[in-house]
Amino acid sequence: MHEATVDHRRGSGTWAWARSGSWAAAATAGWLGLAAFGLAEEPAKSDPKSDAKAAMKAEADAPLDPAAAREVVQAVQRLRQAAQKKAAKAAPAEPPKRPERKVVAPTITPADLDALVAARLAKESPDVKPAPPTGDLEFVRRVYLDVAGVAPTPAQVREFVQDKAADKRARLIDELLATPEYARNWSRYWREVIQFRASNANAQQVRYDLLEDWIADQFERNRPWDEIAVGLLTATGRTDENGATGFTAAHTASPVQLAGEASRVFLGVQIQCAECHDHKTDSWKREQFHELAAFFAGGRVRRVVKASPGVRAAFAVEQTPRARYAMPDLKDPAKTIPVKPRFFLTSNGTEPAAKLPDGLSPAQLRELAASYITGQDNPWFARAYVNRIWTVLMGEGFYELVDDIGPEREAQGAEILFPLADQWREGGYDVRWLFRTLLNTEAYQRRARSSSSPAGRAQLAAACPSRLRADQIFEALAVALDLPVGGAAPTGSPKTADGKPLKPVKASAGPAAKNGKKAAEAAGLAGAVGKGAARNAGLRTPFNKLFGVDPSTTPDEVLGTIPQALFLMNGPIVHNRTQARPGTPLGAILARSAGDREALDALYLQVLSRRPTPKEVAVCGEYLGKAGDRKEAFEDVYWSLVNSTEFLSRR
């Protein structure tokens, strides 16, 4: 990377530090064989330039004469003394005491939530009859996709439907929440949330695969959401060793970008609009944005291993010992105005947050920012998360956008969201508890309705169908077309924590392709292969490139693209696997089915996890009747189901 210019927009703190004479000290220290780090702390108040000049001169004059050596030693001493003096003056600053986390177990139940929903419906849409509860078939596909990110296999569907226990839905919810696939599904969701807005386009520097692994590990251990957020906001170390650094690396440690994204992702507040001017419609002031950015000064992404033949470059997220933050002066572009960190949201929403003492280190500031963002004295952290999860599970939430909430926006249904989020916050941000509570509500288990029916138009009266995310479509294709699982192939059916399949699974094994580019070409995904080869050779990465959508997009704005439609219409995978011949799912179905109806049932179960409706049976019957070639006609039905809206949707 050859940076020809210094970009003042990012890391002005780092820049100030790097310029303030540390190179001189480092040069001297390096020559004396001292660890450069010991001295590179702070610029000396005495004239570092002349000191350094003396040292450099001495370095050049070899062999060393005693006078010059003395001069060098004195120079180093002066630097040391200055650093000590400075350190003594700025006595280790004490960050303000932040409240300890207290845990009060939440008491709100799914039934309580349903009562709140019913009360709102009665008030807002008294004439609307909510959609009836889902049948087992609708429910089983919905909950598998929402929790584990995979479609259920025909065997899993059959087993659930045949189960006569009254509590089978609650049990399945618990079982799915205990699978590694649950953790993986939601870690993919959050990886996408971060990746889609990344400002660092250098693929080498950000290990999204490790970021995803790290988040999956947290969800699997059910670490509270605040701890996960703190982990992401404060992580340091090599990006190829600590996946949590991905958040900071995704923004090249830029204070401005990190402030904007930390606020958007974790608080749902888009304060970054105030970067250049006071917010046009909201009350955020330009200073407030930069006061938040000041918490993130002093970080950097540094290359710690240079690439060489057989060795990949490595990068690390680091905190410098000290940093200053300044915002551009709008009146004079050549000037900057120093800004001290201060958090913009307060518990009561009126008084400004406490001022901070000077002299806090970037690491301390970063921890403080994480604490302000996730602390129990800030209600928006919980509301942002709860509203987001609610929106994904129900297809609509309490705000128009999941990442534009906060005190400046009005919630539709605050009487539901706020008590739920408040209890979840006081309960210590238990991620599984929230899923379990929401998934067990009647509100979640209602049938889908479109906007052509009153229940579809009224908030909370029906499930809103939404498009599946790329990873879910990839997994659904694996089930529908019986593709090989494992490796970089689809994850496959949920397994229990010890790796045993959760439910009967039938999956054909097959080798995952080794050459990612070739494999992508063969799969009709060549256009989706990005620059910087995918680390996991295989189809998931190019598939995600082709089908990926920013998860913060409002569900009803997620439209498909032409290349996606082409992939499903004409792509080799769908084409080859929908053939009726030995070794394909359809070949097997036709071979074992007694008649057309049985084969049709099996096909619907394979692709859409349900039985065909009488109308669909009639349409297919007519099609089969007119067709000259029965096998071909079945292939056409199979093709149509994989290309259907329903296949790409959660309903």
Binding residues for another protein restricted to 289-308, rule: CB under 8 A: none
Q: Which stretch binds another protein (CB under 8 A): 176-184, 432-440, 475-483, 632-640?
A: 632-640
Of 87 and 307, CB closest to another protein: 307
Q: What are 68's two structure tokens?
A: 């010059």
> Measured between alpha carbons, how far is 262 from 516 in angstroms, rounded to an integer?
34
The tokens describing 299, both together, are 């970080």
Query: With binding defined as CB under 8 A, does residue 2 bind another protein?
Result: yes
Which CB sits closer to another protein, 184 or 467?
A: 467
Applying CB under 8 A, what is the total number of residues that bind another protein?
96
Stretch that binds another protein, among 146-154, 210-218, 307-315, 637-645 (CB under 8 A): 637-645
Q: Say if CB 232 and CB 206 are below 8 A apart.
A: no
Residues 270 and 263 sit within 8 Å (Cβ to Cβ): yes
CB of 525 to another protein, least distance (A): 7
Binding window for another protein (CB under 8 A); candidates: 164-172, 313-321, 343-351, 630-638: 630-638
Q: Which of 454, 487, 587, 621 binds another protein (CB under 8 A)?
A: 454
Bridge-partner residues for 338, per DSSP? 326
Interface with another protein, residue 330, by CB under 8 A? no
Question: Please, are residues 208 and 195 in contact by the beta-carbon 8 Å criterion?
Answer: yes
Instruction: Figure out which of the listed residues 286, 503, 540, 651 binds another protein, where binding follows CB under 8 A.
Output: 651
Contact range with another protein by CB under 8 A, out of 61-69, 462-470, 482-490, 503-511: 462-470
* Other C-beta atoms lying within 10 Å of the C-beta of residue 265: 23
384 binds another protein (CB under 8 A): no
The residues in 112-131 that bind another protein, with binding defined as CB under 8 A, are 124-125, 128, 131
d(CA 130, CA 127): 10
d(CA 537, CA 539): 7
Site for another protein in 253-292 (CB under 8 A): 256-258, 260-261, 264, 270, 272-273, 281
- Beta carbons within 8 Å of 154's beta carbon, 6+ residues apart: 602, 605, 606, 609
Closest by Cα among 175, 109, 176 to 437: 109
* Binding residues among 532-591 for another protein as defined by CB under 8 A: 549, 553-554, 556-557, 559-563, 565-567, 569-572, 575
> Among the candidate windows 96-104, 249-257, 341-349, 471-479, which touches another protein by CB under 8 A?
249-257
Q: In the bound complex, what is the minimum distance in angstroms from residue 4's beta carbon to another protein? A: 3
Please classify residue 236 by burial: count the beta carbons closer than 10 Å to its beta carbon, then call 0-12 exposed, 13-18 middle and 19+ buried.
Answer: middle
Expressed in angstroms, the distance from the first to the final Cα of the chain is 47
Pair 272, 263: CB distance under 8 Å = yes
> What is the x/- site pattern for another protein, positions 158-197, by CB under 8 A?
--------------------------------------xx
Q: What angle do CA 454, 415, 450 make, to 5 degrees?
A: 20
In terms of CB distance, is 3 or 351 closer to another protein? 3
Q: Give me the least distance between CB of 397 and another protein, in Å please.
A: 12
Q: CA 509, CA 325: separation in Å to the nearest integer?
A: 55
Q: Is residue 593 involved in binding another protein (CB under 8 A)?
A: no
Token pair listed for 323 = 């940093």
**Site pattern 201..230 for another protein (x: CB under 8 A):** xx----------------------------
Restricted to residues 404-433, the positions that interact with another protein (CB under 8 A) are: 404
Choose between 146 and 181: whose C-beta lies nearer to another protein: 146
Using the rule CB under 8 A, which residue among 456, 494, 538, 551 binds another protein? 456
How far apart (Å, rounded) are the C-alpha atoms in residues 543 and 574? 13
With CB under 8 A as the contact rule, the residue among 162, 308, 350, 452 that binds another protein is: 452
In 62-207, where does DSSP find H-type helix?
A: 66-89, 110-124, 136-143, 154-162, 168-177, 180-195
Distance separating alpha carbons of residues 251 and 471, to the nearest angstrom: 24
Q: Taking CB under 8 A as the rule, does residue 1 contact another protein?
A: yes
